[in-house]
Amino acid sequence: MLKAKNNLLALGLAAACLLSACSPTNKSQTTADSNTKKVAITAIVEHPALDAVRKGVIEELRAEGYEEGKNLQLDFQSAQGNTATAGQIAKKFAGSNPDVIVTIGTPSAQSMVASSHTIPIVFAAVTDPVSAKLIPSWEASKTNVTGVSDELPLPAQIDIMKKTVPNLKSVGYVYSPGEINSTVVMKQLQTLLAKDGINLVAVPAQRTTDVPQAAKSLQGRADLIYTSLDNNVVSAYESMSKVAKDMKMPLVASDTGSVKRGAAVALGVNYHELGVATGKIVSRILKGEKPGDIPVQRMSADQLELLVSKSNAAEQGITLSAELLKQSKMMD
């Protein structure tokens, strides 16, 4: 009798399992799981420019048919400006083996590239990926790495500086010695400015908290302060802007988002659009292309924006010329 009951129980369980396996709900769930793509995103720090990149990536993925909660699983981690934390995040992402990893900012990209040679990595907001040793050249890398650079044509930046301050003699530059993108720009600026007889006064700021004091040290030594997308500097832009206003020294930025935060003039990349361009590459990889077959992209000249603020300029002791105002988009 016990044996018969056990046989009946076994048959019942088998039938239940069979019905469960044939259930439309379970089948669709399995299909959805198998079609879900995993994208991990890491940024060296959170500030408006880098946040705009991330938003652009996610928006473009949605436009390409990848939507979080449906067929896309996103994991975002910020290193909060700490390179050691960037390394920890890189190791975590390498272990979780997502379909694509997006790195925003040079330090995060360097950490991730050092941690994985197989998972597709798409960098964004990296000025010089070759000098940063992310890729061997600007051509298709034939590795697991590609991305979008925010490299700017510096002659155009210098032209804007000269239009902002006529008879420009000296440019101040606050930079982080640990960021390769900042040191590369510094060296290029020094060479190009010297051709025009203009001196570059470069002042290091190791940490975000050092930025205001570094800017103060430029008083009497520079006619304006030029800021690249140095993550320490951009993170502390409001405090730097206050110093510039106190010193009556104009701020010229390479990030248009910095005008809202105090710059008088900015010629730069629209970082949301840079994020969109990055998202397009991520989508291509999710659809089967290899990152090593996709050349690194630069934003084209017609994608640069010139943005000015007359009120910021006035607070920093200058009046913007009619020529500059005519060329630009005005915030106020």
Q: Look at residue 79 and tell me if it is in a domain.
A: yes
Stated pTM of the model: 0.79
**Considering only CA atoms, which of 277, 253, 248, 287 is closest in space to residue 267?**
253
Verify that 99 and 210 share a domain, yes or no.
no
Residue 306: what residue type? L
- pLDDT surpassing 80 at residue 12: no
Residue 200 in domain: yes
Domain encompassing residue 215? 154-269+304-330
Count of Cβ atoms closer than 10 Å to residue 40 Cβ: 25
- pLDDT score of 27: 33
**Domain with 282 in it: what CATH number?**
3.40.50.2300
Tell me which of 311 and 31 has the higher pLDDT.
Answer: 311
pLDDT tens, residue by residue, 219-254? 999 999 999 989 899 999 999 999 999 999 999 999
pLDDT at position 152: 86
Residue 18: burial class (beta carbons within 10 Å; 0-12, 13-18, 19+): exposed
Residues 245 and 278 in one domain: no
* Residue 2 within a domain: no
DSSP for residue 257: G
User: pLDDT tier at 331 (50, 70, 90 boundaries)?
Assistant: confident
Domain count, the chain: 2
Question: Is residue 134 scored above 90 in pLDDT?
Answer: yes
Please indicate, yes or no, if residue 22 is contained in any of the structural domains. no
pLDDT at 153: 87
Is 313 found in the same domain as 294?
no
Closest among 204, 274, 262, 255 to 237, alpha carbons compared? 262
Report the pLDDT value the prediction gives residue 255, as an integer from 0 to 100. Answer: 86
Task: Tell me what the mean pLDDT of segment 257-278 comes to.
Answer: 93
Mean pLDDT over each residue of the chain, to the nearest integer:
89
216 and 319, same domain (yes or no): yes
Task: Please indicate, yes or no, whether residues 144 and 196 belong to a single structural domain of this protein.
Answer: no
